Structure 1
Amino acid sequence: MKFAFLDYFVFISYAIVIVGVGLWVSRKKKGEERSTEDYFLAGKSLPWWAIGASLIAANISAEQFIGMSGSGFAIGLAIASYEWMAAITLLIVGKYFLPIFIKKGLYTIPEFIEKRFSTELKTILAIFWIALFIFVNLTSVLYLGAKALDTILGTGDGSLLIISIICLAVFAAGYSLWGGLSAVAWTDVVQVVLLIAGGLVTTFIALDAVAPDGGIINGLKHIYAVVPEKFSMILSKGEIIKPDGGDAWFDLPGLSVVIGGLWVANLYYWGFNQYIIQRTLAAKSLAESQKGIAFAAFLKLIIPFIVVVPGIVAYVLNAPGGDLEIGNMAPGFIAEDGSIANDNAAPWLINTMVPAGLKGLVVAALAAAIVSSLASMLNSTSTIFTMDIFKPYIKPDASQKQMVTTGRVTGVIALIIALIIAPQLGNLSQAFQFIQEYTGVVSPGILAVFLAGLFWKKATNKGAIIGVLLSIPIAMYFKIGPNGWSDAAIFVSLPFMNQMMITCILTFIVIVLVSQIQSNGKADDKAIELTPGLFNTPKAFNISAFVIMIICSFLYAFFW
């Protein structure tokens, strides 16, 4: 079932509304000059509901809509740990990280490193993040998003890939580069409503279709009865095998998901990722920012039901009785090499089940997820380059206008580079997976540096630099082992998440040892003062946090 006229009308209307809202909220009065605070931090005027919506819109992209549906097809609800654990992580960030960040008046995360450690370490990390945003984040979102649109709107043979990449890039740039964070955040409010509505439409239609007697509740009961193994949150080694033959436990290693390396990935992403944390720094106040964090945590609890459950439904429809065989698969699931293409779960459902009109809404939701993430990454790349590279090193006396212009130019250049690289990812899939995985090699060390800087007064600049540098060979030790390049007995085989946790702990130990030797046990001159009342949170945040933790506890207990 392809796009009908009504679908095109809905989709085009969405695009016009988003660009219109973005340009309208970022308009300026005649003769008014936009400041860096206006452009990069939305004038520090965002209310809690805009912050929460923008956090989710920046986070959810094709990776969730397509990738997590594919994981739901392959291993089931266990992949939802990335979402439900993130809800708890957001509460930690809101209570213990944000008070320090906002008190310091930060524009960027690297700026914290400068205030706590040194300009040299800040610059190193700023360059790393700019490269990461351009060469990994922007390119992957463009490619995966365009691939999804090619599958849904075209034939999936790549004929629409290039035009989809260009259209997504132009769409995101159309309002974000001109309006800055104001345009990004306020359009995100619209985008997240559309994103959740479109996702729920797909889920409801899929559940109604899979139930023998119809009905959403009946659909849930049916898939739970047919494939109960898909509703296990904690996987044991060898318990579930992916359709492509890989061990599911290696990605989600049992209880380590709850008490291990997933915390490293989540704390790094939600606490120290510029394009995520930037909208919390743009709040009217700390209390408003914390309420926004809590709102985002509530929204996180919903995400698995709109991205993972459809994947499980697709599995049930193609595997009667729970037995998946190539011969039973719909044609859309067969890859060129004859294997099962898990990531086609969401596109297959949209193409085969969603009726005209609603299909335009669902694809608009997918586009909203892609475009909002692109816009956020562009804005954050511009912010880091302008505030951490351009102003201190290139033009220290730059005016507000010059810095805003630099931010826009930086965004354009970053987008052009991503446009050039993105189409090549299909030909370099293994190399790209290599880049994605090895990004995780540096994140444990960076997390250890931030945690030491925030909460340990004796951490020194030398300790932080040596720690983050040694974290690379520590992480690489695990890569060389039986799952990597060598079978030598001195190397060990561990799931990637466990590798991250061990690397983070060992890096922290290095920071402690070096700092103790250097400072002789004295507090560092740039240590953060953890004053009484610093971590006090408003009543609304406390109530929300309690409810969210109860819900998460129930979910893990029920789907154990």
Structure 2
Amino acid sequence: MNSLQPIDFIVFLVYFVIVASYGYWVYNKKKKAAVTASHDYFLAEGSLTWWAIGASLIASNISAEQFIGMSGNGYFVGISVAAYEWLAALALIIIAVWFMPVYLKNRIYTMPQFLKTRYNETVSLIMAIFWLLLYVFVNLTSILYLGAIAISGLIGPEYLHTVMLALAVFALIITLGGMKVIGYTDVIQVAVLIIGGFATIYFALTIVSEKFGLGRDAIAGFKTLMQHSPEHFKMILPKPDAATVSAATGGDVAAQNTIDKYLILPGITMYFAGQWIVNLNYWGCNQYITQRALGADLQTARKGILFAGFLKLMMPIIVMLPGIAAYVLHTSGNLPGLRGMDDAYSAILGFLPSGLKGLAIAALTAAIVASLAGKLNSIGTIFTLDIYMKYFKKHDIHAANTARAVAAEAGTAHVEKTTDSDEKQMVWTGRIVALVAIILAIVFEWKDFLGIGGKGGFTFIQEYTGFISPGVFAMFILGMFWKRTTGAAAVAGLLTGLAMSIFFKLYAVPLFGHETLLYTAFPTIEDGKQVWRIPFLINMGWAFFFTMLVMVSISLAGPRVNPKAFVLDRQMFKLKPSVVAMIVTTVLILTAIYAKFW
């Protein structure tokens, strides 16, 4: 089932040659542009169209964590995991309308720069270090590991480390060209991703149809999924009752599975808690994502972000339905030997015919490589612009500026020569940092030291990112729209968000019990022992609430208008008819989806 034929390798090779050739052409073309080397490498300033921005956002976002992790959660929980994707479409509307005007008017190029401009140097440095650690030890490691698991599942488990290295090298090659190369090759990547993804789910549904004696009919296959697993097609999971909790504490596996699903996606309550924090922080306060739009003008950035939101509506079909198909096939005895939920997607790919299997691997590789390349570029951008140039090259920059001033007075050409040298040094610093980051990720995931495989890839990323998301989002939202917010409040907010996230995960239940006005804890199994946990999305919601409370309290002790507050005006947020039309279309589609699967 998992063997590849020559046609599969040919299809994959064609994909690789097209992406590499196009990337090389874009790289050579950009050398003739008038944009400075560093801004071209880090931001692709002014050169990405709205459709390139939108495609790049999706290609960088949809990676192994979705294809493997979300498909695995689709296998385990069902369609409710699509809330991450579908609410992202609404979050992107908010980002396009309200966040981007603030960023672009104040010429913000990195997220630490935002924090320095709005607050102070201390907040900026703390968060730059936080983001670098998060990107390397949570995001890069999980993307590499899950991607290698998926592809090696098709070509043979013994090739796990070979695949990991190949993905890392491919991503580094694209990263060397900078954000412009990443942005435009992502257009090809997302096209391959969508075509290969839809082809995969089409054949998955026809396989389900065939296995249940209904012929090769994708629609019949989808109806079969709904008939044989109706609980997998509910957006809102019910809260486990006392009987279920009692059964789980007594060792009932089915009851424990019900509780574990709720711990991942806690029903309607998650829509009033962490789900919004996850999406708004990820899409609006994340260098890795916002970087694609920061080099564009406002209208181009808005259309690109809204286009990405429209594409997000389709993503659950591609990345989640294969997991549900794997669940129905496995429980009906047609998919024996499935090792775990993170193997669901590769198990479905194993059914595909020759040629299409190669396209599916190309789609998966496109998602993984695009995400890795974008993440590596963001790591290089933050380190170079917010740490290296500020703290390691500070003296050199001062000396260079003095030399430029003297040369300018003398009428010599020393100004341009020094500037070119600085620009090249910045670009090469970014490239070296990217190389070091990917090496660290490989080292930590060579033997899965972080335990991603045991927790489930998608949940691993969401939970551990959630430790800093409440504090970060509180800093950004108050910093943008409340003029009274102070730098001291920002530092306190960051520390409060982290402390409260840890408190609710580890200490709230032992101190206050399983049931309080703030939360309900449930039993689960960790490292072979039964422990009581609060759903992590609820933890995030309360951590955000207390962070906001602390920041507002501290800021009230300061001036009525902070000197570093941004100047906002209504004209910044005015929308063109074309933008309004895109927003209305997205909202109507989303409303129809929730009405159908509530």
Q: Same fold (TM over 0.5)?
A: yes
**1:503 to 2:553 alignment:** no
Query: Do the aligned partners of 1:33 and 1:401 also contact (CA within 8 Å) in 2?
Result: no
1:40 is aligned, of 39, 42, 52, to 42
Q: Which amino acid aligns with 2:336?
A: P
The aligned residue for residue 328 of structure 2 is 316
- Per-residue CA shift, 1:491-522, capped at 9, x if unaligned? 95332111111111211111111011132xx1
**1:288 to 2:303 alignment:** no
Query: Do the aligned partners of 2:330 and 2:336 also contact (CA within 8 Å) in 1?
Result: no
Give the deviation of 1:97 after TM superposition.
Answer: 0.3
Q: Which amino acid aligns with 1:61?
A: S
Q: Matched residues in 1 for 2:41 and 2:33: separation?
A: 16
Give the deviation of 1:31 after TM superposition.
Answer: 11
Give the deviation of 1:428 after TM superposition.
Answer: 3.7
The aligned residue for residue 323 of structure 1 is none
2:428 is aligned, of 385, 405, 412, to 405
- Per-residue CA shift, 1:272-304, capped at 9, x if unaligned? 111111001122x11011001111011100011
- Give the 5 Å matches for 1:129-528: 129-154=131-156, 156=157, 159-177=158-176, 179-211=177-209, 212-238=214-240, 246-283=259-296, 285-320=297-332, 328=333, 330-333=335-338, 335=339, 341-351=340-350, 353-396=351-394, 397=397, 399-425=422-448, 428-429=451-452, 437-481=463-507, 493=521, 494-519=534-559, 522-528=560-566
- Over 3 Å counting, the alpha-carbon distance change for 1:237 and 1:477 in structure 2 is same
Query: Do the aligned partners of 1:238 and 1:248 also contact (CA within 8 Å) in 2?
Result: no
SS of alignment partner, residue 446 of structure 2: helix
Query: Do the aligned partners of 1:256 and 1:262 also contact (CA within 8 Å) in 2?
Result: no
- Over 3 Å counting, the alpha-carbon distance change for 1:33 and 1:317 in structure 2 is closer
SS of alignment partner, residue 200 of structure 1: helix
SS of alignment partner, residue 571 of structure 2: coil
Give the deviation of 1:485 after TM superposition.
Answer: 9.2
**1:531 to 2:569 alignment:** yes
Q: Matched residues in 1 for 2:334 and 2:377: separation?
A: 42
- Over 3 Å counting, the alpha-carbon distance change for 1:189 and 1:516 in structure 2 is same
More off after superposition, 390-399 vs 98-107? 390-399
- Over 3 Å counting, the alpha-carbon distance change for 1:165 and 1:485 in structure 2 is farther
SS of alignment partner, residue 109 of structure 2: coil
- Per-residue CA shift, 1:450-499, capped at 9, x if unaligned? 11100100001111111221222222221224767995999953321111
**1:555 to 2:587 alignment:** no
Q: Matched residues in 2 for 1:112 and 1:468: separation?
A: 15
- Over 3 Å counting, the alpha-carbon distance change for 1:242 and 1:307 in structure 2 is farther
Give the deviation of 1:364 after TM superposition.
Answer: 0.4
- Over 3 Å counting, the alpha-carbon distance change for 1:306 and 1:243 in structure 2 is farther
Query: Do the aligned partners of 1:62 and 1:141 also contact (CA within 8 Å) in 2?
Result: yes
Q: Which amino acid aligns with 1:538?
A: K
Q: Matched residues in 2 for 1:332 and 1:210: separation?
A: 17
SS of alignment partner, residue 466 of structure 2: helix
- Over 3 Å counting, the alpha-carbon distance change for 1:444 and 1:361 in structure 2 is same
- Per-residue CA shift, 1:510-560, capped at 9, x if unaligned? 1111011132xx110011111121111222221111111111111111101
Q: Which amino acid aligns with 1:304?
A: P
- Per-residue CA shift, 1:115-158, capped at 9, x if unaligned? 0000111011001111111111111111111111111111x3xx
Q: Which amino acid aligns with 1:303?
A: M
**1:59 to 2:64 alignment:** no
Query: Do the aligned partners of 2:496 and 2:546 also contact (CA within 8 Å) in 1?
Result: no
Q: Matched residues in 2 for 1:215 and 1:238: separation?
A: 36
Query: Do the aligned partners of 1:332 and 1:348 also contact (CA within 8 Å) in 2?
Result: no
Q: Which amino acid aligns with 2:491?
A: I
- Over 3 Å counting, the alpha-carbon distance change for 1:509 and 1:217 in structure 2 is same
Q: Which amino acid aligns with 2:308?
A: A
Q: Which amino acid aligns with 1:537?
A: L
Q: Which amino acid aligns with 1:101?
A: Y
Query: Do the aligned partners of 1:74 and 1:342 also contact (CA within 8 Å) in 2?
Result: yes
- Over 3 Å counting, the alpha-carbon distance change for 1:458 and 1:168 in structure 2 is same
The aligned residue for residue 89 of structure 2 is 87
Q: Which amino acid aligns with 2:591?
A: S
Q: Matched residues in 2 for 1:507 and 1:489: separation?
A: 22
Q: Show structure 2 runs of 5+ residues with no match.
A: 245-253, 401-421, 522-533
Percent identity for Structure 1 against Structure 2: 42
Q: Matched residues in 2 for 1:192 and 1:554: separation?
A: 25
- Over 3 Å counting, the alpha-carbon distance change for 1:23 and 1:484 in structure 2 is farther
SS of alignment partner, residue 564 of structure 2: coil
Query: Do the aligned partners of 1:445 and 1:471 also contact (CA within 8 Å) in 2?
Result: yes
Query: Do the aligned partners of 1:238 and 1:249 also contact (CA within 8 Å) in 2?
Result: yes
Q: Matched residues in 2 for 1:418 and 1:225: separation?
A: 42
TM-score by length of 2: 0.86
- Over 3 Å counting, the alpha-carbon distance change for 1:103 and 1:231 in structure 2 is same
Q: Matched residues in 1 for 2:198 and 2:131: separation?
A: 34
- Over 3 Å counting, the alpha-carbon distance change for 1:273 and 1:40 in structure 2 is same
Query: Do the aligned partners of 2:101 and 2:298 also contact (CA within 8 Å) in 1?
Result: yes
- Over 3 Å counting, the alpha-carbon distance change for 1:532 and 1:33 in structure 2 is closer
- Over 3 Å counting, the alpha-carbon distance change for 1:507 and 1:31 in structure 2 is closer
SS of alignment partner, residue 123 of structure 1: helix
More off after superposition, 249-258 vs 362-371? 249-258
Q: Which amino acid aligns with 1:160?
A: Y
Query: Do the aligned partners of 2:272 and 2:541 also contact (CA within 8 Å) in 1?
Result: no
- Over 3 Å counting, the alpha-carbon distance change for 1:29 and 1:434 in structure 2 is closer
Q: Which amino acid aligns with 1:281?
A: L
Query: Do the aligned partners of 1:278 and 1:380 also contact (CA within 8 Å) in 2?
Result: yes
2:75 is aligned, of 51, 55, 73, to 73
Q: Matched residues in 2 for 1:438 and 1:367: separation?
A: 25
Q: Which amino acid aligns with 2:190?
A: V
The aligned residue for residue 20 of structure 1 is 21
SS of alignment partner, residue 518 of structure 1: coil
Query: Do the aligned partners of 2:139 and 2:461 also contact (CA within 8 Å) in 1?
Result: no
Q: Matched residues in 1 for 2:32 and 2:572: separation?
A: 41
Give the deviation of 1:265 after TM superposition.
Answer: 0.7
Aligned alpha-carbon RMSD (Å)? 2.3
Q: Matched residues in 1 for 2:331 and 2:463: separation?
A: 31
Q: Which amino acid aligns with 1:514?
A: I
The aligned residue for residue 408 of structure 2 is none
Q: Which amino acid aligns with 2:187?
A: V
SS of alignment partner, residue 213 of structure 1: coil
Q: Which amino acid aligns with 2:567?
A: E
- Over 3 Å counting, the alpha-carbon distance change for 1:549 and 1:350 in structure 2 is same
